[in-house]
Amino acid sequence: MKLEKLNPWNWFKHEENSDTNSAIPVTRDQSAASPASLSSGGSLLGLHREMDRLFNEAFRSFGMPTLNSTDASMAPLYRPQIDVSGDDNRYEIALDVPDMSESDISIDVRDDVLTIKGQKEQRSENEDKHFYRVERSYGSFQRTLSLPDDANADEIKAEL
């Protein structure tokens, strides 16, 4: 059984290739580590990152999407979720960008790569409020999708 049949087209291969995780293992001199970093899980975090890298390489070698890093310092502040669907006639990409207008988003197609960029500004509605918790994300984002061979780049349309 070929695993490629389970994942016929990897839309996200360009995002995976620009992954911030290095393909070269990095080792640090543990003798120089401070006791504070070891007690706060520094060595455990290094092991976790190495395991993520190994799994990402294994998935990538089968042409499958890689796992997302759970390290918050490596993740972008705002990354809208994407749904990719299609039928015999067309593909459809849905991107969650609430509270954004057309002027906040740019779409570019070049060399069979669809790039969607945007900027979500943090809006301060009331200066007198004291927030106890903020869960909404703000910032710039970029999503890069590799178009399949049968996609017609000239007929790409966007709606908001």
pLDDT in tens, 77-133: 567 889 998 888 889 999 988 888 889 999 999 998 999 999 887 766 666 777 777
Query: Residue 60: is its pLDDT beyond 90?
Result: no
What is the arithmetic mean of pLDDT over 133-141?
Answer: 77
In a domain, 75, yes or no: no
Same domain, 141 and 103: yes
In a domain, 40, yes or no: yes
Which of 80-84, 134-138, 155-159 bottoms out in mean pLDDT, i.e. has the lowest? Answer: 134-138
Same domain, 87 and 132: yes
Same domain, 87 and 148: yes
In a domain, 122, yes or no: yes
Q: Model pTM?
A: 0.52
In a domain, 3, yes or no: no
Q: What CATH number does residue 135 fall under? A: 2.60.40.790
46 lies in which domain range? Answer: 9-61
- What six digits make up the tokens of 42? 């520094």
Same domain, 147 and 88: yes
Q: What single-letter amino acid sits at 72?
A: A
- What six digits make up the tokens of 68? 């997302």
How many domains is the chain partitioned into structurally? 2
